[in-house]
Amino acid sequence: MDLFLIKHKLQNDFPLVRETTLPHPQRAAVMVLLYPKPKKIHVLMTRRAMHLKYHAGEVSFPGGVFEEQDDDLLTTALRETEEELAIQVEPENVLGRLPVVNTRLGFEITPFVSVLPAAPEYEPAEHEVGEVLEIPFTSLLSTQQRDVGSKPSEEGVMYWFQHHRIWGASAKILKQISHLSSY
């Protein structure tokens, strides 16, 4: 896997577009953080805290629902990444905006991809994050399998990292990114 190729494809095929966003309770954004760490590309994900009302214990990207004070969905992704992990991503390190992922609960999630020069330092917000996962990206992608819980009409996939099952919207986003790393 080549970060240069991913950067190139993001900038050419999925350029960063900032559009004014109207508030909607089911519009959200996430930040995919890719970075090199001992000769391998890693992706940073979180396991949500177990006491949360929604999606407790699920593996996800930092992100959340668009709020009225946010100018656009990129602002949402940046704000949520800082709130959840105390990581300030510089807008110039956000290289692309992937297609919207729709969830079974009706949410529209816009994924933004940031390629960082090195592993970020983070401090998880205990009330939101149960665990931070720094996952070797190529190894993660190699665990892809069909999600048997998906409807037959959907092409649902899931991934595994250690004992963590990654499914749903997060798996859909990972699948989108996996296409960036191929010619």
39-53 pLDDT, tens digit each: 899 999 999 876 666
| Residue 40 CB contacts under 8 Å (≥ 6 apart), including other chains | 136, 137, 138, 139
| Structural domain contains residue 167 | no
Q: Is 163 exposed, middle or buried (0-12, 13-18, 19+ CB in 10 A)?
A: exposed
pLDDT of 21 > 90? The answer is no
The two beta strands, 40-48 and 101-102, are unpaired
Beta bridge partners of 111: 30
| Structural domain contains residue 144 | no
Looking at residue 96, its pLDDT comes to 93
Q: How many domains does the chain have?
A: 1
pLDDT tens digits for range 141-155: 888 888 776 555 566
Q: What CATH number does residue 124 fall under?
A: 3.90.79.10
**Which residues form the domain of 62?**
3-138
| Structural domain contains residue 134 | yes
Looking at residue 30, its pLDDT comes to 97
Looking at residue 1, its pLDDT comes to 58
| Structural domain contains residue 178 | no
pTM: 0.89
What is the residue whose two structure tokens read 């510089």? Answer: 90
| Structural domain contains residue 15 | yes
